[in-house]
Structure 1
Amino acid sequence: MLNKKFLTMGFITTAAALSLLYSTSLFATTPQKPTNEESRLQALAKFTKVLGIVEQYNVDDVTLQELIDKSLQGLMTNLDAHSTFLNKKSFDSLKVQTDGEFGGLGITVGMKDGALTVIAPIEGTPADKAGLKAEDIILKINNKSTLNMTIDDAVNLMRGKVGTPIDITIVRKNEAKPLHVHIIRGNIKIQSVYTKQISDNILYIRVTSFDKKVVEGVKKAINKFKNKDKGIVLDLRNNPGGLLDQAVGLVDLFVDKGPIVSQKGRTESENKVYSATSSATITHMPMVVLINGGSASASEIVTGALQDHKRAVVVGKKSFGKGSVQVILPISEDEAIKLTIARYYLPSGRTIQAVGVTPDIQVEAGEVKTEDNEFMIKEADLKKHLEKELQKDSGKAVTKDTEKEPKDQIITTEQLHKDLQLKEAVDIIKALIITQG
């Protein structure tokens, strides 16, 4: 009712203003550009007029409130892939995700080249155990096409009661047909930091996501082996990101001065620079950082900052390219908008958004396959190609083709030889230890 009243009053005010403008223009000798306020009124008048026409003549009966919600959704999703309007159902779902326990798959998703894409499965979750991989394109969720689906709608479809099943159809690079994945939803409990030893003097640290315990966990591991180890391999592969303060804090453990990341938005209040402090730095050991297409957001900030400061050698494949800042802004008790307010910039001034971080040394994961196949396509052809796959979908079931990394404290030579990226990282660290030691 309040919305309707506001819109009606706005229309009357706008109509009066337009009438005044038209009357004035009859006597004007020189056309004048409308002021900013007049332009706003004209735009609001156009919007209100279209709402009225649709409400009156649309073939289906649609209420004004429904039209407003659809308009807001269209407005937000057309700004960028991460902005959205959260109605009561979506807003409640977000609150459950951040404040309570929920059932899910354990994957982070994003929009890449217009397609719903897995950024990374979280280690140990149902999605990880079912064999989903970074850069898998989600074609269907429970037989519902994801084309033109928002990220939030997709997340809401995948989330559900613990123990309930869900079927995902994916398109994977170098696979001839779409793959069907059957997953049972579970509670998502994440261990964010794993540490192991490689050889006698290399500390391997794997960070799977940036929760509130990352800096504490990494700091504890480094201090424990500080007198033994001479080099560090920081593995951020398939790390979808998380808390900004943890990313900044992690870099601060290795860099003693200079900017780590800056945040720049439209308003000056959103502009911030996060810098390193010498008091937080605990080691200057040579480092290698491992990344891939599943490394996003906070993990890209860490990688890019260490690379710009020439503090680490980056090995692997180009990262995902998620370098924007979103905030949740309530517009009522039950509704809100998620809006992109800023972008992150690395110490050198370069952006992450839609670009990612390029490794110093690019290394494929496992065997390198070079043969052509029908999924080696240009970005411009992606949507058309996915539409074709929806029509001919007769995919096979996916199986986990790699064993989970054991949780013991030592990475053996045999395990090392199964991971080409990690082996390259270890070879580089050994060389750095010799040259810098």
Structure 2
Amino acid sequence: MDEQNVGQENLEQEQVNENKSGFVNMKKFHFVMMLFFIVFLTAGVTTFALSFGEEKVVTVASERTEFNKLYSAYDTLKKEYFKELDQNDLINGAIDGMVKALDDPYTDYMSIDEAKSFHNSIDSSFEGIGAEIQEKDGFIVIVSPIKGSPAEKAGLKPNDTVMSVDGKSIQGMTSTEAVTLIRGEKGTKVELEIQRPGADNLIKVPIIRDEIPIETVYGEMVDDSIAKVQITSFSNNTPQDLVVMLNDLQKQGMKGLVLDLRHNPGGLLDEAINISSMFVPNSKLILKVEDRNGKIKDYPSENDGNPDLPLVVLIDKGSASASEILAAAVRESADVKLVGETSFGKGTVQTAKDLKDGSNLKFTTAKWLTPKGNWIHKEGIKPDFEVSLPSYSTLSIINPDKELKLSSSSTEVETAQKMLNALGYDPGREDGFFDEKTKEAVVAFQKAQKLPEDGVLKGDSTLKLMELLRDKIENNDTQLQKAIEVLKEEMK
């Protein structure tokens, strides 16, 4: 199967994503993860030769002398290694080694077993933690948690680095290998150890796996004339769902729209183009794709209507790939304002194919450019209005299994103190030492929430504290407030 995508490596859904950040032109799958094309055309020939002994190897090698070193290494190991070796393991390892030598986080090889696991997760319900990941400099990094997923509820954030899964280090793993460890059946528990930018210590995050939500369009009226629509990814049904949502909001009096692409790691190419066409005038460019030879293909809007709805778009560092295509298209081809934070910065295109034996390889084939020819790779898109969320929105997660009580001292206590303060319970200090004043604040919080008033943060008390903070962040969305302000100016 030949697929093309531009995207962030998709963690999950459970890989609804592993190339969701990416965007993939797929007919078979709803979300993008890792599908692959064989790295060199002679792989099948090589496998055949190796299957039939040294004589065949020599024959093929004489035709492709660049592989002589590879065949020599293979023969040496097969004959002289201190124990018997599996031929398939060696071949898979050779392909995987070539892929890693490219030093490209968006190129990856998937073995037969890994491919089967992936296809099973796509064909059945999506179960896992619901977070998009990519491999970066030998580490697995969160691109974005999916809206409503266990990962979002647990407090995972873009740019969190996953150091271990259930105590097993994943440094040096591909995103495919990491996903195999992270995803699992609904109701099972997985513990991630993460490093958050700006935090001194590693944070342990226990997460209960669940079915990953596949709804991608959420909408609501935020006042009498302005609506907000959030697109969480670009799947097969997203354009149709968006049309239905916009029609419904128009019936409710929508005169202007805030399109929220925050925490959206990407999705399908065709759907990104279709949605961009809704807001970009007919024949205006949506993006350009440049191949290895410098040949550029233009993708214009095919909008037959009149995209004159006043619009402002929200982006953040979790907006990647197809989200960035849409954001760049509406800004450069429809003069739409962007509000929020600089986006992720994913500007390459991937092609993917299934191999005959069931394994896969995905590799980068081109780069995509904005309508004005800008390449945003590793740079992201800087918004017209830079707005940060409140400082408490970036607080780390507190492990609910850990007991925070009188006389304890830790970074988690410091985080809890900041959370309490943000919610109106004065702990008296925010230096990480749990004193009497902090205990009083915890007791007051527990009393207000009808929890056992023991002055100890653990279990339900910790979970409730983090839940209320998430609610406060949603209700004090400074980025959305600015977007509404800008939109009202546009509507005058």
Partner in structure 1 of residue 290 of structure 2: 264
Is residue 430 of structure 1 aligned with residue 453 of structure 2? Answer: no
Partner in structure 1 of residue 50 of structure 2: 4
Distance 1:267 1:332 in 2: 29
| Deviates most, 397-406 or 99-108 | 397-406
| TM-score w.r.t. length of structure 2 | 0.70
The offset of 1:337, in angstroms, is 1.6
Partner in structure 2 of residue 65 of structure 1: 88
Partner in structure 2 of residue 356 of structure 1: 380
Matches within 5 A, 1:203-242: 203-226=227-250, 228-242=253-267
Q: Structure 1: any 5+ residue segments left out of the alignment? A: 18-36, 371-393, 407-413
The offset of 1:154, in angstroms, is 0.4
Identity %: 31
Matches within 5 A, 1:247-286: 247-256=272-281, 257-266=283-292, 272-279=297-304, 281-286=305-310
Matches within 5 A, 1:68-79: 68-79=91-102
Contact 2:128 2:209 in 1 (8 A): yes
Contact 1:417 1:423 in 2 (8 A): no
Contact 2:220 2:249 in 1 (8 A): no
Contact 2:186 2:209 in 1 (8 A): yes
The offset of 1:355, in angstroms, is 2.6
Distance 1:352 1:7 in 2: 49
The offset of 1:285, in angstroms, is 2.4
Change (3 A) 1:352 1:58: farther
The offset of 1:305, in angstroms, is 0.9
Change (3 A) 1:258 1:204: same
Q: SS where residue 340 of structure 1 aligns? A: strand
C-alpha distance after superposition, 1:32-57 (max 9, x if no partner):
xxxxx7xxx33111111122233344
Give the length in aligned residue pairs: 379
Residue 204 of structure 2, aligned match among 180, 195, 198: 180
Contact 1:323 1:351 in 2 (8 A): yes
Contact 1:212 1:243 in 2 (8 A): yes
The offset of 1:9, in angstroms, is 4.8
Q: SS where residue 298 of structure 2 aligns? A: strand
The offset of 1:369, in angstroms, is 10
Matches within 5 A, 1:277-426: 277-279=302-304, 281-367=305-391, 401=466, 403=468, 418-426=476-484
User: What letter is aligned with 1:49?
Assistant: S
Contact 1:104 1:158 in 2 (8 A): yes
User: For the aligned residues, what is the CA RMSD?
Assistant: 2.9
| Deviates most, 350-359 or 248-257 | 350-359
Contact 2:233 2:267 in 1 (8 A): yes
Matches within 5 A, 1:44-55: 44-55=67-78
The offset of 1:148, in angstroms, is 0.7
User: What letter is aligned with 2:67?
Assistant: L
User: What letter is aligned with 2:287?
Assistant: V
Distance 1:402 1:284 in 2: 39
Contact 2:338 2:383 in 1 (8 A): yes
Change (3 A) 1:258 1:6: farther
Matches within 5 A, 1:180-199: 180-199=204-223
Q: SS where residue 279 of structure 2 aligns? A: coil
Change (3 A) 1:171 1:196: same
Contact 1:329 1:339 in 2 (8 A): no
The offset of 1:99, in angstroms, is 1.8
| TM-score w.r.t. length of structure 1 | 0.78
The offset of 1:6, in angstroms, is 6.4
